[in-house]
Amino acid sequence: MADNLEDVTGLDDSRLYAAMAYLLILVAVPWLTRRNDPFVNWHVRQGLVVLGGVVIALIAAAWWSTLGSLLFVALMIGDVVALVQALQGKKWKIPGVGQLAAKLRM
């Protein structure tokens, strides 16, 4: 049996936990387990802002479907791109989200 995720996937654990930060509610896993890893922590902050934005977009869609839907789609596109960047071991600042995430202190 594999001892860690790197044996199974071929990627280091930090990259996998960083990518998990962009899977909406699963952001809690790296947030609670990898607090001391600066790379993961950077992606967790962005993931938390994206999660908050998705909640806001869904609420906005209930009142104004066009605006809420556009916000949701824009967040999901940025989320997928950031997930891929995390898997590649890169830090990509999602436009708008990255600035808010930088202000979060954890």
Q: Check residue 1 and give its pLDDT.
A: 43
pLDDT, one tens digit per residue, over 62-91 is: 889 899 999 999 999 999 999 999 999 999
pLDDT at residue number 32: 94
The answer for residues whose C-beta is within 8 angstroms of residue 7's C-beta and 6 or more apart is: none
pLDDT in tens, the chain (106 residues): 445 655 556 678 899 999 999 999 999 999 999 989 999 999 999 999 999 999 999 999 888 989 999 999 999 999 999 999 999 999 999 999 989 998 988 7
What's the rounded Cα separation, in Å, for the pair 33 and 82?
20
**Alpha-carbon span 69 to 55, nearest angstrom:** 12
